[in-house]
Amino acid sequence: MRNSFKTILASGILLLSLNSCKKSDLNLTPTNDVTASTVYATPAGYKNSLVKLYATYALTSPSGSDVSDVGGLNTGYADFLRLFWTSQELVTDEAICAWGDTGIPELDYSLPTPDNQFLRGLYSRSILQITFCNEFLRESTADKLASRNITGADASAITRYRAEARFLRAFQYWVLLDAFGNPPFITEDDAIGKVNPKQIQRAALFNYVESELKAIEGDLADPRTNEYGRADKGADWALLARLYLNAQVYTGTAKYTEAITYSSKVIAASYSLKANYMDLFKADNNINNTENILTINYDGVNGTNYGGTTFLINAGINADMNPTTYGVPSGGWGGNRTRQNLPNLFPDANGTLDKRGVFFGAKKTVDAIGEFTDGLRVTKFKNVTSTGAMGPSLNGTFSSLDFALFRLAEQYLIYGEAVARGGSGGTAAQALLYVNALRFRAYGNTSGNVSAAALTTDFYLDERGRELYWEGHRRTDLIRFGKFAGATYLWPYKGGVQAGATLPTFRNLYPLPLADLIANPNLVQNAGY
């Protein structure tokens, strides 16, 4: 049961007839080739529509990898994870890209403009997925179900689907909250196509996401009892813990006690660390994995696109690195590698001590951005199983590796950081146990264990770098620690200078896309842009 949804997601969206909006406007409804009354006429129709909500995380359109749901964006760039990863990693000390595509150099420099196509793509993709969720919620009210004679167990199942749709919408609003701060806002209760969406302010959006996640908790499945790849209470608590850890950034008011409360809920549930760290990032990570809480599911044969883990693997290797070793024998695009700051977090930077640090190459220092081999390559993700077999891969290019949006290790680190920052309800002794559980796994013994005195707030930033690098956390983390803007922490080419330079604090938020500002007069650009 846990693994069945991965297969359904790969093919189910292709059977759906709901097409997507081509504009980044929350006040649009998806264009239907068939009417909603037909799509939602049966319980099976509701399940298929739920599949679409999840599948839009892993696919670029209902029509295949050569079509983009996001208007004006190259289909290769239009996958959610590729856009999210780019926004969280390329602007930081953890990654840099050799490609000269329009918009990438300014991200390498942490200096994006309101015209940046990758940020516009993320903004549009998040809004698109919110739009799909709103449409599902409009069609799954009690009145709608009654009018379609859907009752009993079928109606109860759809109540759970509604909670999952609200979770997925809350997650995308969190993405917008974190990246853009003050986006347009609309729910299923707003009239469609009547007026331009109003802008919501960051603190109010925080309150909305918080209230939604709390409201749906009782309707979600218990942790690890839902189909694999579907949200449950564990995912709900994990997002709340992440939200609260960053509350001071989002609202000006710290909520570290709440971060401890909700990370503790996750930790006390039925999750456990996977014994081998690197097995988390292999093509069979959907099997016997009790660490991942919610994943984006990829199928490298039936649901392909050039984003997702296909992008993470291929963009991080080139032909000289023997792509067969990474499960993509026809792949290797030579784009992303790391700056020296990341390997410097590891005691040896080659994985013989702390086995989490896996890099390729001999030169750590990045001097020439456009040369892929200038700097160390990150070899964390592989379309290879834990037994060494190649994962399913169409034409030897695409990946079947699932990507964890939430996993238990992050919750251990949220708990510890929140304790270090003064949150109540947790203890430093318990935080030490969680940290050393991660480090025991990383080293294979107790040689990497630390003492309670080591657990400063700065330790947690570094430990998050070691445990969670290239998983889409770094920009958010650096901002929370006050090290993204300013000059207290530098990395190569920060601010467009090879040695690194200061960034003004307005850079802690991305600009709203210029195209949406023109289309919607209710929007006001974020300060500084």
* Banded pLDDT at 270 (limits 50, 70, 90): very high
pLDDT at 64 over 90: no
CB atoms within 10 A of CB 410: 24
Mean pLDDT over 40-52 rounds to 96
Mean pLDDT over 205-219 rounds to 98
Can you give the length of the chain in residues?
529
Q: Which candidate, 258, 63, 269, 296, places its Cα nearest to that of 175? A: 296
The pLDDT assigned to 185 comes to 98
Partners of 377 in the β-ladder = 360
The pLDDT assigned to 63 comes to 64
Instruction: Give the residue extent of every domain in the chain.
Output: 4-219+509-519
Select the more confidently predicted residue: 283 or 16: 283
CB 396, CB 357: distance < 8 Å: no
Encode pLDDT of 414-452 as tens digits: 999 999 999 999 999 999 999 999 999 999 999 999 999
Mean pLDDT over 242-264 rounds to 98
CATH architecture of 4-219+509-519: Alpha Horseshoe (1.25)
- 109 phi, psi to nearest 5 deg: -90, 0
The pLDDT assigned to 65 comes to 55
pLDDT at 86 over 70: yes
The pLDDT assigned to 8 comes to 52
pLDDT at 28 over 80: no
Q: What is the rounded CA–CA span in Å between residue 426 and residue 412?
A: 11
* Banded pLDDT at 16 (limits 50, 70, 90): very low
Encode pLDDT of 450-480 as tens digits: 999 999 999 999 999 999 999 999 999 999 9
Using the Cα atoms of residue 116, residue 56, residue 133 and residue 34 in order, give the sign of their dihedral. Answer: positive
Q: What is the rounded CA–CA span in Å between residue 358 and residue 378?
A: 6
> Which structure tokens are listed for 528?
């500084």
Mean pLDDT over 135-161 rounds to 97
* Strand, coil or helix: 405: strand
Mean pLDDT over 373-386 rounds to 98
Mean pLDDT over 376-391 rounds to 98
Q: Which candidate, 528, 95, 68, places its Cα nearest to that of 343? A: 95
* Percent above pLDDT 90 for the chain: 87
Q: Give every CB contact of residue 241 below 8 A, 6+ residues apart in sequence.
A: 259, 262, 263, 265, 266, 411, 414
Strand ranges, E, within 170-227: 184-185, 198-199
The pLDDT assigned to 26 comes to 45
The 3-state secondary structure of 203-217 reads: HHHHHHHHHHHHHHH
* Banded pLDDT at 527 (limits 50, 70, 90): very high
CB 378, CB 326: distance < 8 Å: no
Mean pLDDT over 393-413 rounds to 98
